[in-house]
Amino acid sequence: MAVSHSTPTISASNRASAVQRGQRRGDNYTTAAISTMPAGDPPLSFRDLDAIAVERLKNLGTKRAAALAELEIRSVLDLLQHYPRRYLDRTRQARIVDLMVDEEVFVVARVERSASRRTRRRQKLVEVVVSDDSGRLKLVFFNQPWLEQSLNVGRTVVVHGKPSRYQGALQMTNPVVDLVGDRTGRIIAVYPQSEKSGLRTWHIADHVANVLDRCEARSIDDPLPDELPTRLKLMNRHAAFCGIHRPETMAESSRARQRLMFDELLRLQLRLVQRKRRMEQNTAGLSHAVGGELVNLFVAGLPFELTDAQQQAISVISEDLAKAHPMHRLLQGDVGAGKTVVALCALLTAVQGGYQGALMAPTEVLAEQHHQTMTKLLGDFSVPDETRLTASRPLRMELLTASCPAAQRRKTAAGLAAGEVDIVVGTHALISDDLQYESLGVVVIDEQHRFGVEQRAVLRDRGPQSLTPDLLVMTATPIPRTAAMTVYGDLDVSVLDELPSGRVRIDTTWARGPLGEALVWEAVRDAAAKGHQAYVVCPLIEESEVIDVRSAMETYERLSGEGGELAGLRVGLLHGRVSAAEKEATMSLFRSNQLDVLVSTTVIEVGVDVANATVMVVIDAGRFGIAQLHQLRGRVGRAQYASNCYLVGEAATPEAEARLQALVDSDDGFHLAEVDLELRGEGTIMGERQKGRNDLRLASLRRDKEWVEKAREVAIEILDDDPDLLKLPALADEIELMLGDREAEFLLKS
Ligand code: ADP
Ligand code: MG
């Protein structure tokens, strides 16, 4: 697009004629700074808007531009997407004379006087008197000294709060104050502003208004297929941008938000679905023979019946494995749901057909444990021996971690390269470049949250003849379905939503204060007396900076030392600083019930499976997240024995309080995931790094669940018909702009 610098002559835009899609008003396009354009220029695309630097706008010098840059606003598009934080509906504004004690209101008023002083307790106090045409009101602010600067006399402010009566007069203490300038209009948009650089919400509002006026002539393009907005009852996009920044009614602003939020979600889902499909197309996979004897034998030999959910998952996975394109599936299941068995079926399917299987765990302790379980379950299995026509040989399974002796590692590596090892269990050493597989057919990654997309990508082309092995990712950190659609958008999702029968509910207690804690240790001793075992988990180790955190070592010594709460019991210690061999030795003592109590850091957080353990004690539980606590709790109650979880300590924040209470109230991982999302917001799911960068400015995976699903459906519908978005070039280009490869990579690194 040509951008010229001719003198702007702004025509007051006529908002009532809110530009219909494609409508042009050729005589009215005097929006020069953006472009001098011949009549009939096409509507402005995101890319057009992105190409216009904010410096081109009226009244916008370098200083202002620098201030905007601090808010990451560099182009006109950035400005348009700098959405109001909230709105003030002036029709609901109160007059000072009508204020009543304790009734929450807002008033728009002028600052009359402003002064600050120190109270006797050395607190800084700012006192401000404001007035409207009906009366005066005193505002008192504690500890917000900077307000004195901004609330200078003559300024118009919007004050929200509850009046109280003080010495006979009404006043508001610590009200929320918005400086809005002398905005007129019924609804005032309040923007996120930058105190530091003196950029106020009304400055932003002015620039945005300026942009909207200038866009009026050409209008902002709507990239959606024509019928879609109508079908979904969404506004067209130009109207939405006007409506979110300059709504006439609150209803208009929320409809505008809905449209723009849908666009964000749709772009994301299109990107994810497209990516997933391309990956499926461009990678050739193995078509496994399913329904073989090995799997049946394995299932028949299990000491229990599979749950319906397990059967269902196994059958869906078999279908995936039989297909020629590589499986890419996420298996979600609450702790204890029995994911390992499902994984083994997938691995055995590979082995059955002469391929190799790899099971990757996040820690050595877990890898070791999986190896043991599998040795127990599969120890005497045989596989067909290709070297001799009719014979068979024992199934060979190996453990491969960084701490295996070098000689053993070499042997395993050689066996994998020669195709003599059927199943290998290990840590991410398994996907290191120098490890050769003769015929890697299925890879299972346990406890996904520690592995990112990058690691998944490493697997591509690792199979025989550069075929991509099938991949099953398992996670015990359930996340809500709609969030899964976004975060794991490139995976198919299966859910184990049923626990094996006979499990007893884990009784969870929040133990506060010394008395509460005493009961906890009594419970541990009781369990030990009955021949059961307990875990005691501590949050940090040797963190000299964090003085108030009890380290695992201290706890160990305090509890097991002479006169300690657990003196006389067999107590072991496990933390990240001991050697892997020592770690394994301790674990193995615990597994064989030669330890009553295992004091440990969170190394046991995921996956550890010792059925005889019935008590979980978490010290300083307030420091853990919901998912982590739920994981920890899942280490007990793994058999039919009644089990207890004790969350020890006070909650330092209301949020921590809510977390602990949620754990006490519920043991449903999916429910807890929702609570977590509620408490912590999207950041939990998207990850810190992603938050700043992603295209989701309005959409909330929490509030807008139904729209996430709708966007997913629409994305699939569009791509079914038009896989490369050839019919919707504007939309394709916008996705490229907003979620280009770099951004998408970023987004997917969970
Ligand atoms: P998770 O899903 O947390 O990884 P595991 O696979 O470790 O769960 O299984 C937890 C425990 O439940 C294991 O001891 C396992 O042998 C047992 N288990 C798995 N499936 C069943 C079932 N269908 N019935 C009874 N016990 C089961
Ligand atoms: Mg597990």
Number of folded domains that form the chain = 4
Q: How far apart are CA 464 and CA 354, in angstroms?
A: 11
The answer to whether residue 684 is domain-embedded is: no
172 and 96 together in one domain:
yes
Looking at residue 692, its pLDDT comes to 36
Q: Any idea what the CATH number is for the domain that residue 181 is in?
A: 2.40.50.140
The 8-class DSSP code of residue 13 comes to P
Looking at residue 451, its pLDDT comes to 52
> What is the number of the ligand 1 atom nearest to the C-alpha of 609?
7
Q: Which of 454, 405, 339 is nearest to 745 (CA)?
A: 454
456 and 516 together in one domain:
no
Looking at residue 455, its pLDDT comes to 59
396 and 524 together in one domain:
no
Q: Which of 109, 85, 84, 205 is nearest to 159 (CA)?
A: 109
Identify whether the C-beta of residue 232 lies closer than 8 Å to the C-beta of residue 45: no
340 and 385 together in one domain:
yes
Range of the domain at 613: 506-666
Give just the sign of the alpha carbon dihedral 460, 462, 463, 466. Answer: positive
523 and 599 together in one domain:
yes
Amino acid at position 135, single letter: G
446 and 400 together in one domain:
yes
The answer to whether residue 458 is domain-embedded is: yes
Which tokens in the block code for residue 332?
Answer: 């979600």
Phi, psi of 460 (to 5 degrees): -55, 145
Identify whether the C-beta of residue 326 lies closer than 8 Å to the C-beta of residue 469: yes
> What is the number of the ligand 1 atom nearest to the C-alpha of 307?
23
459 and 312 together in one domain:
yes
Q: What angle do CA 421, 425, 429 make, to 5 degrees?
A: 100
Instruction: From 666, 693, 713, give the residue that closes a domain.
Output: 666
Looking at residue 464, its pLDDT comes to 77
Ligand 1 centroid – CA 337 distance (Å): 6
The answer to whether residue 7 is domain-embedded is: no
**Ligand 1, from 499, 638, 641, 670: best to mutate by most atoms within 8 Å of Cβ?**
638
> What is the number of the ligand 1 atom nearest to the C-alpha of 337?
2
Q: How far apart are CA 80 and CA 173, in angstroms?
A: 35
93 and 80 together in one domain:
no
Pocket of ligand 1 (CB under 6 A): 304-307, 310, 333, 335-341, 476, 500, 607, 609, 611, 638
Instruction: From 616, 649, 666, give the residue that closes a domain.
Output: 666
57 and 107 together in one domain:
no
Q: Which of 707, 575, 566, 684 is nearest to 257 (CA)?
A: 707
pTM of the model: 0.66
Looking at residue 694, its pLDDT comes to 58
**Number of C-beta neighbours around residue 466 at 10 A:** 10
Q: Please identify every residue whose CB atom is under 5 Å from ligand 2, which is an ion.
A: 607
Ligand 1: which residue has its CA nearest to atom 20? 338
> What is the number of the ligand 1 atom nearest to the C-alpha of 496?
2
Ligand 2 centroid – CA 647 distance (Å): 22
The answer to whether residue 241 is domain-embedded is: no
Looking at residue 488, its pLDDT comes to 67
The answer to whether residue 45 is domain-embedded is: yes
**Number of C-beta neighbours around residue 385 at 10 A:** 12
Ligand 1: which residue has its CA nearest to atom 17? 338
494 and 518 together in one domain:
no
Tell me the average confidence (pLDDT) per consecutive run of 10 residues in the chain, 750 residues long.
36 34 33 48 93 89 90 92 88 88 88 89 89 93 81 87 88 84 75 78 89 93 94 96 94 96 92 82 82 88 93 95 88 86 95 92 84 86 73 89 89 94 90 86 77 59 79 79 69 85 87 89 96 89 44 85 92 80 86 94 70 93 87 86 93 88 89 79 46 65 83 94 95 88 47
Q: Any idea what the CATH number is for the domain that residue 709 is in?
A: 3.40.50.300
Angle between helices 654-665 and 626-633 (to 10 degrees): 30
The answer to whether residue 17 is domain-embedded is: yes
